[in-house]
Amino acid sequence: VIGGFGVANTMFMAVAERVREIGILRAIGARSIDVLILFLAEAALLGLIGSIVGVVVGVIVSSLLPSLLSGLVRFGPPGTEIQLQTVVTPTTILLALCLGLAVSLIAGLYPAVRASRLKPVEAMRYVF
């Protein structure tokens, strides 16, 4: 959810900062669908990079977590402590990547639609 808000905020700012460029694109013949695809691709790339970084950090933390917690937290009765074990499978990694990509596409959808609906004349006179 927080990643979705981050992507949405980034995409809103990208649209706001590039209104004139969007107007120029539209004026030289770019269709609405071209602008929509451009901004959705940017949102997807942003989400994919964030997901990859999140998976790498998650794998590192999950590999270090059992050794860090073994001295701090004891599970089970004294003398028969249970070892904490984390499991990272390719399925969970793929799920995390797909979820991050889906969240970024959903969060970037409204700003992309908004950018694709800009009229060239209105965008060209826009002063940020």
Residues in the chain: 128
Residue 108 CA to residue 15 CA, distance in Å, equals 10
pLDDT of residue 93: 94
pLDDT of residue 126: 64
Task: Count CB-CB contacts under 10 A for residue 105.
Answer: 18
Select the more confidently predicted residue: 64 or 125.
64
Region 41-70 average pLDDT: 88
Of 33-37, 61-65, 75-79, minimum mean pLDDT range: 75-79
**DSSP category for residue 116:** H
Q: Is the pLDDT of residue 71 over 70?
A: no
Residue 26 CA to residue 7 CA, distance in Å, equals 24
Residue 94 CA to residue 51 CA, distance in Å, equals 10
Residue 45 CA to residue 31 CA, distance in Å, equals 21
Confidence band for 58, pLDDT divided at 50, 70 and 90: very high
Confidence band for 113, pLDDT divided at 50, 70 and 90: confident
Any idea which residue has 């917690």 for tokens? 69
